[in-house]
Amino acid sequence: MSAENFTVRPYPEMWAALDMDVPRFDKARQMLGEVYGKMFLGQVNRPDRMAYFDEMIAEIFGRRVEELLAAKKEGKPVVGTFCVYIPEEIVVAAGGICVGLCGGSQGSVPDAEKVLPRNICPMVKSAYGFKAGRICPYFQAVDFVYGETTCDAKKKTWELLDRLVPTHVMEIPQMKRARDKTLWLEEVRDFKAKVEEVCHTSISANELAGAIRVINDKRRALQRLTALRAASPAPISGKDALLIEQIAFYDEPVRFAREVNLLCDELDERIGNGVGVVPASAPRVMVSGVPMALPNWKVHNLVETAGAVVVGEESCIGSRYFKDLIDESHTAMEAQLEALTDRYMQIDCSCFTPNDERVDQVLKEYRASGAQGLLHYSLQFCHTYNIEEIKIREACEKEGIPYLAIESDYSPEDVGQLQTRVEAFLEQIRG
């Protein structure tokens, strides 16, 4: 598969059956294929095992959607999610599928702005616009979507989204005291009841135990990939690693973990042979901050086209999703749900106060990655991350870490300005 002949494959009949705006969506499909071919397949010395993930993108609007529709026919729940706080283990325990619906494209934002304010998070607008414009097969295929209350824009948008697709909202407490865990555990129980209602079944403790192992295995595979990226020279590009982290929210989890581990086997060999995607002298950058939903590759592309390599993502689409595992030792349902809640409470989203543990985690991951500079990425109007950036910056200044903060949206209008800033940042690293 080459950059010139890569295409995201069309499935117009299936899309029509899903009541999509097929002509408009097909144009977006073609654009995605062109961008992906140039940005990813044009890279030099990529690992051979990236072929699987290239194929996932080629079939992202086709074969994977067919798998969702087949699951629905069997009475299994298909749940759309917007946040790493949603306990996907419960959906998997019911035989169902979780699929990420966060928006990472500028193309759907105008649809959202017909209804939503312009001055809110582009990720929220992009996600809502995909449904409002009928230009996302995943949104069209789900039984219901599961929102959460991690920010004001989200929790108010879910009220409007519920008019377009059934939307169940999970309240995420904004602190991590004992009383907050009690609330969180009740929300997890409610989610389990909702999934059981949709699929007309009762989830057993054995089924939940099996699902916990499946999702832990997926996270273990991603942890392994992250650890290998610390090698010098870097055995895989940051763009490819980010792509894998994005696909983690779409792919079947057992298959995904197997393919990530096969890729890691290849990376192990590369490291042993001193093979990298860039010279060992290339600046190494870690990115922290907001989620980078597919196809948002903007920051990584800017950094890596300037001759550096991204070696880690402290992000919800990144380490925040997979750094913590659930205790697998419990066999009783209530103990399993408590262990699950304990694990999800370790996620350090900027919605929490206080949130010093995130600052500590950023520094921990920075040291482990072998990075030489930190780039903090915020989306416009994402108030929690934009304000928490102050504490990340202060911590980097104290540690003497080269630092750059970027605030952007999904449009290409600021690429030139950002490119200049990124290049100056890399010069600072190079000394």
Domain residue limits, the chain: 12-430
CA dihedral angle for residue 203, residue 209, residue 211, residue 214, rounded to 10 degrees: -170
Q: What is the pTM of this model?
A: 0.97
pLDDT digits 0-9 by tens, 85-127 = 989 999 999 999 999 998 999 999 999 999 999 999 999 999 9
Query: Chain-wide mean pLDDT for the chain?
Result: 96
Q: 425-429 contacts: CB < 8 A, separation 24 or more?
A: 425/373, 425/375, 426/283, 426/285, 426/303, 426/306, 426/307, 426/308, 426/373, 428/373, 428/402, 429/283, 429/285, 429/308, 429/372, 429/373, 429/402
Tokens of 256: 């995904």
CA–CA dist 326, 345 (Å, integer): 11
Split at pLDDT 50, 70, 90, the class of 170 is: very high
Name the maximum alpha-carbon separation found in the chain.
62
Does the pLDDT of residue 3 top 80, yes or no? no
On whether the CB atoms of residues 242 and 310 are closer than 8 A, the answer is yes
Return the residue matching tokens 């809502």. 128
Tokens of 349: 């989203």
Tokens of 99: 């699929």
Predicted local distance difference test score (pLDDT) of residue 210: 98
Does the pLDDT of residue 4 top 90, yes or no? no
**What kind and span of H or E run contains 168?**
strand 167-170
Mean pLDDT, to the nearest integer, of 260-271?
98
Tokens of 212: 């916990």
pLDDT digits 0-9 by tens, 306-323 = 999 999 999 999 999 999
Q: Is the peptide bond before 110 cis (omega within 30 degrees of 0)?
A: no
User: Read out DSSP for 360-385?
Assistant: HHHHHHHHHHT-SEEEEEEETT-HHH
Does the pLDDT of residue 431 top 90, yes or no? no
CA dihedral angle for residue 388, residue 394, residue 396, residue 399, rounded to 10 degrees: -140
pLDDT digits 0-9 by tens, 209-242 = 999 999 999 999 999 999 999 999 999 999 999 9
Predicted local distance difference test score (pLDDT) of residue 1: 64
pLDDT digits 0-9 by tens, 115-166 = 999 999 999 999 999 999 999 999 999 999 999 999 999 999 999 999 999 9
